[in-house]
Chains A and B, each alone.
Chain A
């Protein structure tokens, strides 16, 4: 069975500081990894996916199959980045398995 682990429940950083959200997964096959974000009073939305290899809102994430990780990084955090972030894995069957989430608080 697949599993996604986000070890940090809360990350508090100052504006302009780097931020890294950790995500580790376990899955025997070839997974698709995603980061979803939920801003206050908004619905859950896709931030980025590993197969796109893109940077969204300054965030990047690299899939490391050797370490089974998909950490999310941003070099300079902004106050508007304060939100709940979920790492998710899509294995066979298309359903998403989510990590427990990390709340990011960017202080001015």
Chain B
């Protein structure tokens, strides 16, 4: 079946502009995660959605970052007033519910490469 998809694949923007990154999780997956992969920082967690529960926003680096998940499916990560240090690859992942009640393996999308000039 189709995997996690993300759009756009590449985004170039000017400092100060807002950007929106989209993630389509695997159908039926209840959990959705955003991570950031940047040079020198590795992979860092940003935000996590699980069903109708309040999202875990503990990884968002500043209040310029926000994310929504509409209808328990598609998610949008928004970065307002972009800065050059926001340049990175933004990865989305999704996972199903584990039968025992926990959450299963995370499946990653191809990422959106963001460059802020």
Please indicate the chain A residues that have their CB under 8 angstroms from the CB of B48 in the complex. 93-95
Interface membership of A100, Cβ < 8 A? yes
Give the secondary structure class of A's interface: strand
Is there contact, CB below 8 Å, between A98 and B103?
Answer: no
- Report the separation of the CA atoms of residues A36 and B37 in the bound assembly, to the nearest whole angstrom: 14
Interface membership of A43, Cβ < 8 A? yes
Is there contact, CB below 8 Å, between A43 and B111?
Answer: yes
Give the secondary structure class of B's interface: strand
Please indicate the chain A residues that have their CB under 8 angstroms from the CB of B105 in the complex. 34, 46, 49
Q: By the criterion of a CB under 8 Å from any partner CB, how many residues of chain A are at the interface?
A: 18
Beyond contacts A44-B108, A93-B48, A94-B48: 7 other A-B pairs, Cβ-Cβ < 8 A, are A34-B105, A43-B111, A46-B105, A94-B103, A95-B48, A96-B35, A99-B42
The 7 closest A-B pairs by CB, nearest first: A98-B43, A100-B42, A44-B108, A95-B45, A94-B103, A43-B110, A43-B108
